[in-house]
Chain A
Amino acid sequence: MREIYMDHSATTPVDGAVLETMLPYFREKFGNASSIHQFGQEARNVVEEARERVAGFIGAKSSEITFLSGGSEADNFALQGLTSAYSGRGKHIITTSIEHPAIIETANYLEQNGISVTYLQPDKYGLIHPHQVEDAIRPETFLISVMHVNNELGTMNPIGEIGAIAQNHGILFHTDAVQAFGKLPIDVVAMNIDLLSASSHKIYGPKGVGILFIKEGTQIDKLIHGAAHERNRRAGTENVAGIVGFDKAVEICENVMTEEAARLTVLREYFWNKIETSIPDVIQNGHPTEKIPGILNMSFKGVEGESLLISLDMKGIAASSGSACSSGSNKPSHVLQSIRLAPELLNGTLRFSLGRSNTEDDIDYTVDALSEIVERLRAMAPVS
């Protein structure tokens, strides 16, 4: 059976060149980067090289990059570490209702510990407007955390403008850039970003590696205590092979990012045009212009998302859904609820996230399959 992977926002396959670069660091070059002997020094060197590249990729200094296990740890570290360091001074955090659970659940946890949190609601496109952020600022606000790109909709927030507001008020600004990193140019200086989370496995690198960028001079407490790894910011032996792979994945992004973004934009528009002409009663979600190239989020009226996903999977097509029945919690996605999607569309939502492997031919096959599936499921549904 044909296999078409269109779930690149969930994760990506490790690039062949990335894997090749990593392999020696499991066997021959297995040293602990903290060891003084040559095995350790070899590991130390590649970790520092990687740090330099990742830093340069976002306009940071290498001393501002902390390697850790991934996006969720980075988000937890940022929110918990800052809250702890600012205890007694800051009592209020501004974030949004469409963040990844790594932010929302951490913010909920901090609320239980006496921090007050404002969750800004996006507009119907999933966009957070800078004036909303400014209006929510209180004297006791110490942190603003707004995601760069929303993982379900692909909508891009005006991070630079929000960063400027934070700076004008002397408030820290964190952004979860997991879905933006490697897809859009990021400049932490120009965008006034104080902390930024990013992950390797979303950009054809290995799972289990990510970074938190922490601007020089920022006071933050540790999340993981232990030895003095990562400039005493994150204890634990460095995941050398993972970091080397992340380095290579970033190097590839540096080379292909612009051209891949252009290709995916064309592919996504082709996809949507084909859907629109072959399937009735479908709408596209997310911002019409302010969005990343690879994500196409659509709602099909009168069809349930999990049924769509299973049917697509049986035809070898991998996508994802924000519908209640596919989430495991039986509640529709918090993002779709936040953009106040009509109830009859809420449960018929699919997200396709395109990536390097996808071609026009994949889209043709997928649209054919999808129109057949939608027709079958609609015929099976009671008319409401």
Chain B
Amino acid sequence: MYSRKVMDHFTNPCNVGEIENPDGVGEVDNPTCGDMMRITIRVEEGVITDIKFKTFGGGAAIAASSMVTEPVKGKPLKETVKITNKDVAEELDGLPKVKLHCSLLAENGLKAALDDYYKKISYPYFIM
């Protein structure tokens, strides 16, 4: 049912955990299926230097969480805001149709964390 890549990310997810005193926190959930995600980020001079996630959800949700955090590390904020759930699903070699919303959770989690960071520094730009 899942691609090899999904299974790999599910078995050995990257960036699991929580950053202490993070610069941005994103907490999102999917009320329909009960999935929850919390992303914390460290930002230094406009660059995401660290990112960690915690997710309650199925295989797709955990794999998508891992996948959304991976390319973000070390990237300037400007580039990361463009990441969509489509990118995440593609990077995972596709997701079953009924699981696409799990990748949306990951996208929203990242955006919420960025949003939170922008709010903290009073930057007049919001993503959500």
Interface residues of A, Cβ cutoff 8 Å to B: 302-307, 310, 314, 323-326, 328-332, 343, 346-347, 379-384
Q: Does B113 contact A (CB under 8 A)?
A: no
Q: Is the CB of A324 within 8 A of B56?
A: no
Q: Does B50 contact A (CB under 8 A)?
A: no
Q: Is the CB of B98 within 8 A of A310?
A: no
Which chain B residues numbered 42 to 98 have a C-beta less than 8 Å away from chain A? 54-62, 98
Residues of B within 8 A of A343 (CB): 34
- Closest A residue by C-beta to B109: A382
Q: Is the CB of B54 within 8 A of A325?
A: no
Which chain B residues numbered 91 to 110 have a C-beta less than 8 Å away from chain A? 98-99, 101-102
Q: Is the CB of B33 within 8 A of A347?
A: yes
Q: Does B117 contact A (CB under 8 A)?
A: no
**CB of A138 to closest CB in B, whole Å:** 35
- Closest B residue by C-beta to A302: B56
Most interface-central of A326, A331, A382 (chain B CB within 10 A): A382
Q: Is the CB of B11 within 8 A of A346?
A: no
Q: Is the CB of B56 within 8 A of A329?
A: no
Known: A381-B36, A382-B38, A384-B56. 15 other contacts (CB 8 A): A304-B35, A304-B61, A306-B57, A310-B7, A314-B11, A323-B34, A324-B34, A325-B34, A325-B58, A325-B59, A329-B98, A379-B16, A382-B27, A382-B36, A383-B54
Q: Is the CB of B33 within 8 A of A310?
A: no
Q: Is the CB of A380 within 8 A of B55?
A: yes
Q: Does B114 contact A (CB under 8 A)?
A: no
Residue-wise, chain B 1-44 has the 8 Å CB interface mask toward A (1 for contact) of 01000010011010010000000000100001111111000000
Q: Is the CB of A380 within 8 A of B16?
A: yes
Q: List 16 A-B contacts (CB under 8 A).
A: A304-B35, A304-B57, A304-B58, A310-B7, A310-B10, A310-B58, A314-B7, A324-B32, A326-B58, A343-B34, A380-B13, A380-B62, A381-B36, A382-B38, A382-B54, A384-B36
C-alpha gap A10/B57 in the complex (Å): 24
Residues of A within 8 A of B34 (CB): 304, 323-325, 332, 343, 346-347
Interface of B is mostly: mixed
**CB of B10 to closest CB in A, whole Å:** 7
C-alpha gap A380/B101 in the complex (Å): 19
Residues of B within 8 A of A325 (CB): 33-35, 57-61, 99, 102
Q: Is the CB of A310 within 8 A of B56?
A: no
With an 8 Å Cβ cutoff, the count of chain B residues facing the other chain is 27
**CB of B126 to closest CB in A, whole Å:** 23
**CB of B62 to closest CB in A, whole Å:** 6
C-alpha gap A116/B54 in the complex (Å): 47
**CB of B42 to closest CB in A, whole Å:** 18
Residues of A within 8 A of B101 (CB): 330
**CB of A71 to closest CB in B, whole Å:** 25
Residues of B within 8 A of A306 (CB): 57-59
- Closest B residue by C-beta to A314: B11
Residues of A within 8 A of B38 (CB): 382
Q: Is the CB of B57 within 8 A of A307?
A: yes
Q: Is the CB of A307 within 8 A of B62?
A: yes
Out of A307, A324, A329, A382, name the residue touching B59 (CB < 8 Å).
A307
Residues of A within 8 A of B2 (CB): 310
Out of B10, B56, B58, B60, name the residue touching A382 (CB < 8 Å).
B56
Residues of A within 8 A of B99 (CB): 325
- Closest B residue by C-beta to A321: B58
Residues of A within 8 A of B27 (CB): 382
Q: Is the CB of A382 within 8 A of B37?
A: yes
**CB of A44 to closest CB in B, whole Å:** 44
Rank and list the top 10 A-B pairs by shortest CB-CB distance, nearest first: A306-B58, A325-B58, A382-B38, A381-B56, A324-B33, A382-B54, A347-B34, A330-B33, A310-B59, A304-B57
Residues of A within 8 A of B60 (CB): 325
Contact A381:B35 (CB < 8 A) given known A307-B59, A307-B62, A310-B10: no
C-alpha gap A324/B31 in the complex (Å): 11
